[in-house]
Structure 1
Amino acid sequence: MKTSSSNSTAENTTSKETKNLKIMEQPALGIKISELRKSKGLTQEELVEQCNISVRTIQRIEAGEVTPRSYTIKTILSALDYDLEKIQTENSKVAKEFKKLFLLDIDDSKEASFLTRQLTISWISGIIYFILGFGEFALDYARYFNDEMIVSTTLYSILKLVILAAIILFMRGFILSGKIFKNYLLRITAFIFICMTIIFYTYDIISLYIGELDFTYILGTQGVTFGVIGILLGISIIRLQNALGMLAKTTGIFEIIAYGCMATIVLGFLGYFLLTPTIILEIILVYRISEMLKAKQQETDLE
């Protein structure tokens, strides 16, 4: 019985070590090992002499072609006098900060006041995005359809960055709402929405200085991309109707119709027109959720 228990403990330990060793995956692991080797002033052949691993294996690992076994990683890092935990710490810190930035991972111990504050920031950002969106539409229309810039490129870039920040903060409210109501689809679609927004807004700014592609392809790509994401976002919002009633259902339906029109490209302008009431409903929805949390917090305080 003791032997069985010891074997089980050993297996669990090995399993944990192996899992930890795989925290950094390829090609990041290969790049890290290459950096460490070069910082030591070692060639691949010299590293081979220290760890008794074939030069071909090291070449493939550094190139990211293969994922080495845990023993191989340990041996290489040991030869480079590098503590494995440093890699794990670096990787976990980056992941933690990334999740914290987009509210992807919220500690359940967080107080309701924190959640309410984040939601308040969200709907206020939504209002800013809504107001500035009219100016953005006028500038983009002049740029892409009339081939002229009615403001300086600097001012245009600043406006784009401000709107991008507002959209990110606004959509974080939906990620948080997905967490609160255990709506995974809402969390993931809101996050993807943010990612695609960053990509397209970055293109809008960079293309001012390095030249741009045919705007019809860009607008078409944007329409289809945001159309599909928006439809999924609408479906996920409708799933909140048990907690938020007709407001969630109405908002979700508007989302599906507006973004559905955008996805067709042909009805793109109708979709953009319908975004006006859709965004208003989204702002009201996030505001309602923040008020629900405030009321819940007050009830808890009274108890």
Structure 2
Amino acid sequence: MVKQTIITMKQPELGQKIQEWRKAKGLTQEELVEKCNINVRTIQRIEAGEVTPRSYTIKAILEVLGVSQDELPAQEQLTEKSVPEGLSSWYRFSFVAGIIYLSLAIVESFFDVYLIVENVVLSSGLGFLYTFIKISVFVLFIMFILGFYRLGQFQSSALLKVMSIFLIVLTGMFIVEDIATYWLGVDLFSGLLFRSIISGIVYVLFATGFLQLSKSKGTIYIITGAVGLLAGISFMTIVFAIPGLMVLTVFELLLIVLLHKEYNLKKQDKGYSFLGKTQLFY
């Protein structure tokens, strides 16, 4: 199967050289982006060393500037990443699963509150419905979080991979506990305290994984990581655990946005059209 290759270079050397070549050609940023078919903000961030451009962007710019790839600075800093076949499909799958999961999780939360506040009498029919919702939420959560496990694989982030698995296992334990609590009628209030603290720790570490990638991946990773940290810390304090649930919802919304962004980026990596040519880079 074909695997695409993205060539990246450490910043800010590349951005500085592109700026020098552009000025030597007497081109403004606006004139360059018009010839390269990219936006002004992209070239501004590249020249400022804020982002690491993909191979198709680099090659488009170099072709317009009439510069050979052999003239790129610090050749020893060029690295290659192989894009696994089907990675974009994984992100799309996890993105869709995330939307459905979050919608059903809201229903689940109202169900939990209803059972507690109304002190509902044990009912087999209600119990089966409750069990079905809980299991469905867990299955969708697995599909959702596996997208970030794959992201951790591609970005070589051991922390993101490990914490994705921890998050799945921990959520599974809590789902089983909720179902058992309903059917057995056991008061697990002390377990809720334990759940809050452990969840907080796991979410803090999970969010840290996004912050570690933020230098190369941009602002969305910083925002996502920061909101995840806030949610995790809220759980760890116990006192702010309830407000933490609202922050967690925002965090999960950001995770869905992030997956959609990654899907679009990998989708673009399949092939690019510029200067009248469609190319694949291997």
Please say if residues 234 and 255 of structure 1, whose CA atoms lie closer than 8 Å, have aligned partners that are also in contact. yes
Residue 184 in structure 1 maps to residue 158 in structure 2 = yes
The match for 2:143 among 158, 169, 178 is 169
Q: Which letter maps to 1:135?
A: V
The match for 1:204 among 178, 184, 197 is 178
Please say if residues 130 and 279 of structure 1, whose CA atoms lie closer than 8 Å, have aligned partners that are also in contact. yes
Aligned twin of 1:137:
109
Aligned twin of 1:125:
97
Residues 154 and 268 of structure 1, relative CA distance in 2, 3 Å threshold: same
Residue 180 of structure 1 deviates from its aligned partner by: 0.8
Aligned twin of 2:236:
263
Alpha-carbon distance in structure 1 between the residues aligned to 2:164 and 2:149: 6
Residue 224 of structure 1 deviates from its aligned partner by: 0.9
Alpha-carbon distance in structure 1 between the residues aligned to 2:150 and 2:215: 17
Please say if residues 144 and 215 of structure 1, whose CA atoms lie closer than 8 Å, have aligned partners that are also in contact. no
Residue 221 in structure 1 maps to residue 198 in structure 2 = no
Aligned twin of 1:193:
167
Alpha-carbon distance in structure 2 between the residues aligned to 1:145 and 1:230: 28
Residue 111 of structure 1 deviates from its aligned partner by: 4.2
Alpha-carbon distance in structure 1 between the residues aligned to 2:262 and 2:217: 8
Greater relative contact order structure (CA < 8 Å, 6+ sep): 2
**TM-score, structure 1 length as denominator?**
0.60
Aligned residues: 194
Aligned twin of 1:26:
none
Q: Which has the higher strand share?
A: 2
Q: Secondary structure at the match of 2:256?
A: helix
Q: Which has the higher helix share?
A: 1
Q: What per-residue deviation string (whole Å, max 9, x for no partner) do you get for residues 88-111 of structure 1?
A: xxxxxxxxxxxxxxxxxxxx9884
Please say if residues 234 and 243 of structure 2, whose CA atoms lie closer than 8 Å, have aligned partners that are also in contact. yes
Aligned twin of 1:276:
249
Q: Which letter maps to 1:302?
A: Q
Q: How does 1:225-264 map to 2 (within 5 A)?
A: 225-264=198-237
Q: Secondary structure at the match of 1:263?
A: helix
Please say if residues 234 and 252 of structure 1, whose CA atoms lie closer than 8 Å, have aligned partners that are also in contact. yes
The match for 2:131 among 157, 161, 170 is 157
**TM-score, structure 2 length as denominator?**
0.64
Q: What per-residue deviation string (whole Å, max 9, x for no partner) do you get for residues 70-101 of structure 1?
A: xxxxxxxxxxxxxxxxxxxxxxxxxxxxxxxx
Q: Which letter maps to 1:292?
A: L
Aligned twin of 1:302:
279
Coordinate RMSD, CA, aligned: 2.1
Aligned twin of 2:19:
none
Alpha-carbon distance in structure 1 between the residues aligned to 2:188 and 2:89: 39
Please say if residues 98 and 256 of structure 2, whose CA atoms lie closer than 8 Å, have aligned partners that are also in contact. yes
Q: Give percent identity, aligned residues only.
A: 23
Please say if residues 181 and 188 of structure 2, whose CA atoms lie closer than 8 Å, have aligned partners that are also in contact. no
Q: Which letter maps to 1:239?
A: Q
Please say if residues 251 and 278 of structure 1, whose CA atoms lie closer than 8 Å, have aligned partners that are also in contact. yes
Residue 145 of structure 1 deviates from its aligned partner by: 4.2
Alpha-carbon distance in structure 1 between the residues aligned to 2:208 and 2:84: 29
Structure whose alpha-carbon radius of gyration is higher: 1
Please say if residues 174 and 186 of structure 1, whose CA atoms lie closer than 8 Å, have aligned partners that are also in contact. yes
Residue 211 of structure 1 deviates from its aligned partner by: 3.5
Q: Which letter maps to 1:223?
A: S
Please say if residues 83 and 154 of structure 2, whose CA atoms lie closer than 8 Å, have aligned partners that are also in contact. no
Q: Which letter maps to 1:125?
A: A
Alpha-carbon distance in structure 1 between the residues aligned to 2:222 and 2:232: 15
Residues 220 and 144 of structure 1, relative CA distance in 2, 3 Å threshold: farther
Q: Which letter maps to 2:218?
A: G
Q: Secondary structure at the match of 1:207?
A: helix
